[in-house]
Chain A
Amino acid sequence: MDISALLMMAGLLAVTSALAFRVHGFQGVREGFLRGMRTLRMVAPMLLTGLALAGFINVVVSPDLISQWMGSNSGIVGILIGSGAGALIPGGPYVSLPIAASIFDKGAGVGPIAAFLTAWGAIPISRSIVWELPFLGGSFTLVRYIVNLAFPLVAGFLTPPIYNFLS
Chain B
Amino acid sequence: MAGQGRKRRLKLDSSLLFMLTILIGLAIAAFVLHGWSGLGDGAVEGASTLVRIGPLVVLGITMAGMIQVLVPPSFVSKWMGEESGFVGVLIGFGAGIITPGGPYVSFPIAASLFRSGASIAPMAAFLTAKNLFPLERSLVYEIPFMGTNFFLARVIASLLLPLFAAFAIPLLMRLISGHVRLSRNE
Q: Which residues of A contact B (CB under 8 A)?
A: 2, 5-6, 8-10, 12-13, 16-17, 19-20, 23-24, 28-29, 31-40, 42-43, 45-60, 92-94, 97-98, 100-101, 104, 110, 113-114, 117-118, 121-122, 127, 129-140, 143-144, 146-148, 151, 154-155, 158-160, 162-163, 165-167
Contacts and interface: CB of A to CB of B under 8 A. Distances in A.
A16 B161 contact: no
B158 A155 contact: yes
B16 A46 contact: yes
B157 A33 contact: no
A35 B65 contact: yes
Nearest to B165: A147
B63 A144 contact: no
Contacts of A166: 149, 152-153
Nearest to A29: B66
A44 B142 CA distance: 31
Given A49-B23, A56-B30, A36 B65 contact: yes
Contacts of B105: 9, 12
Contacts of B120: 140
B76 interface: no
Contacts of A10: 59
A133 B19 contact: yes
A55 B55 contact: no
Interface in B75-99: none
Contacts of B4: none
Contacts of B48: 55
4 closest residue pairs by CB, A with B: A55-B46, A36-B65, A158-B157, A55-B45
B172 A163 contact: no
B152 to A, nearest CB: 6
Given A53-B22, A54-B46, A5 B101 contact: yes
B7 interface: no
Given A131-B103, A131-B107, A166-B149, A32 B68 contact: yes
Contacts of B102: 5, 92
B62 A127 contact: no
A39 B14 CA distance: 18
Task: Specify which of B16, B20, B145 lies most central, judged by the most chain A CB atoms within 10 Å of its CB.
Answer: B145
A158 B63 CA distance: 38
B135 interface: no
Nearest to B43: A55
Contacts of B153: 110, 114, 159-160, 162-163, 165-166
